[in-house]
Amino acid sequence: MNKADSERLENALSKIGFENSTTPADSDLIVLNSCVVRQGAEDKVVGMLTSLKPLKEKNPETILALMGCMVGPNTKELKQKFPYADIFIQPQNYNPLIQYIENKLNIDTEGCLTQLSAKADVTAYIPIVQGCDKFCSFCIIPYRRGREICRPVKEIILETQYLSERGVKEITLLGQNIDSYGHDLPEKPDLGDLLKELNKIDGIERIRFLTSHPNDMSDHIIESVAELEKVCEHINLPIQAGDNEILNKMRRRYTNEEYRNLIEKIRSTIPNVSISTDIIVGFCGENDTQFQKTIDIIKDIRFDKVHAAAYSIRENTIAMRKMLDNVPLEEKKSRLNQIESIQKQILQEKNDLLCGETFEILVEGKKNNNQYGRNRNDKLIYFDSKENLKGSMTNIKINKSTPWSLHGIKTT
């Protein structure tokens, strides 16, 4: 979501004459887009902001803005801590920054925020739901991004058409809790209805969406993924923990058994679907037996990707106010290592089975002398070719696998 916000702001700024610079020292404007989902992410932002202080003192005319989830409704504390920053803006609230630029640089900014979209590339992110209503006990997002607000279907169609006309082939719809899409709109469309409309747009070859909450993943959404030919067979469905007591303390409002049943339903409805998940280890009071349930579910479900992170206290969350962060850091690290080693083995086994198969990928670019793209299941595939194939749909036969990627040769 932050990447999408940055791209949209970048595009708006390019309309009023800004271009990318190579270093902060060359810049007239520096916007630091912050993530505070975990302590590690917040520490990085603070480190970067602190490192920009000497530059700002040397070049006081450079505009320094802090944007994103680090900026709450009350910026008094941030202003005291970082008095050298010029402006603090909440997620997706670009207007104050544009106004500040207009006043300071005396330029006409009118219209730069209309038809806000990512810069057109082969792939593009489209935020469709802002905020979250779930209030999981560990999560700061609802406090920083606010309650859920869904964009109307028409507006999303227009943005997708606009991107398609500029060469975008794949869109990824974004929302903190994307499968609750539409509940606040007058006609109550759901994500399945939206996917059906976007599936009709010429030029768009693939549609993805992130992130889902198990409680809002309806039959209609699952059937839509199965039926609509442009919607890719990949679902990110965070479980967060395997133990029911921990899930309850996290306020996730589903059980281990319900999650397993949902996975079964998804797998039986969508042939060849890949499933990724998010897991938090070391949540308040999680003991070894409870953590073992997380290990068991990873082994049983054999996810295609696991994003695991150690729990860290987030300001003002329910967990911070009512629970004890009592799992030692060393234990959290050891649990993360266990998950990584199990998942590495699962992925190597799964990817080995794909050797010899051919997949159609959308070529996204070049990395380390190889071109790369993803198949419909979101598997990263590298290949070597003298032709620049960025933006084309290309068939690749897999001849080598690692846990994290596949490598192959072009067949068409």
3-state DSSP helix/strand/coil % of the chain, to nearest 5: 40, 20, 40
Residue 177 binding ligand SF4, by CB under 6 A: yes
35 or 141: CB nearest ligand SF4: 141
109 or 212: CB nearest ligand SF4: 212
The CB-of-148 to ligand SF4 minimum distance in angstroms stands at: 9
Residue 129 binding ligand SF4, by CB under 6 A: no
Question: What single letter denotes the amino acid at residue 200?
Answer: K
| Identified binder of ligand SF4 from the candidate list 33, 160, 172, 176, rule CB under 6 A | 176
The CB-of-206 to ligand SF4 minimum distance in angstroms stands at: 24
Helix (H) or strand (E) holding 165: helix 153-165
The CB-of-35 to ligand SF4 minimum distance in angstroms stands at: 12
Residue 174 binding ligand SF4, by CB under 6 A: no
Helix (H) or strand (E) holding 19: none
213 or 407: CB nearest ligand SF4: 213
212 to 251, contacts with ligand SF4 by CB under 6 A?
213
Residue 136 binding ligand SF4, by CB under 6 A: yes
The CB-of-102 to ligand SF4 minimum distance in angstroms stands at: 33
285 to each of 252, 282, 291, 321, how far by Cα in Å? 16, 7, 10, 14
243's tokens? 């133990």
216 or 352: CB nearest ligand SF4: 216
Residue 191 binding ligand SF4, by CB under 6 A: no
321's tokens? 């106010």
- Which residues 6+ apart lie within 8 Å of 50 measured at CB? none
The CB-of-314 to ligand SF4 minimum distance in angstroms stands at: 10
Residue 183 binding ligand SF4, by CB under 6 A: no
- Which residues 6+ apart lie within 8 Å of 22 measured at CB? none
Select from 26-34, 139-147, 329-337, 391-399 the region that touches ligand SF4 (CB under 6 A). 139-147
177 or 371: CB nearest ligand SF4: 177
Select from 50-58, 72-80, 132-140, 352-360 the region that touches ligand SF4 (CB under 6 A). 132-140
120's tokens? 């057109």
Residue 404 binding ligand SF4, by CB under 6 A: no
Residue 164 binding ligand SF4, by CB under 6 A: no
Got the DSSP string for 79-135?
Answer: HHH-TT--EEE-TT--HHHHHHHHHHHT---TTTTTT--PPPSSEEEEEEEES-S--
Give the whole-angstrom CA distance, residue 209 versus residue 332.
30
The DSSP bridge pattern shows strands 358-367 and 370-374 to be antiparallel
The CB-of-69 to ligand SF4 minimum distance in angstroms stands at: 11
319 to 348, contacts with ligand SF4 by CB under 6 A?
none
The CB-of-278 to ligand SF4 minimum distance in angstroms stands at: 8
- Which of 204, 140, 141 shows the shortest CA–CA distance to 177? 141
224 to each of 31, 76, 237, 245, 368, how far by Cα in Å? 39, 46, 16, 33, 37
The CB-of-309 to ligand SF4 minimum distance in angstroms stands at: 11
Residue numbers at the binding site for ligand SF4 (CB under 6 A): 132, 134-136, 139, 141-142, 176-177, 213
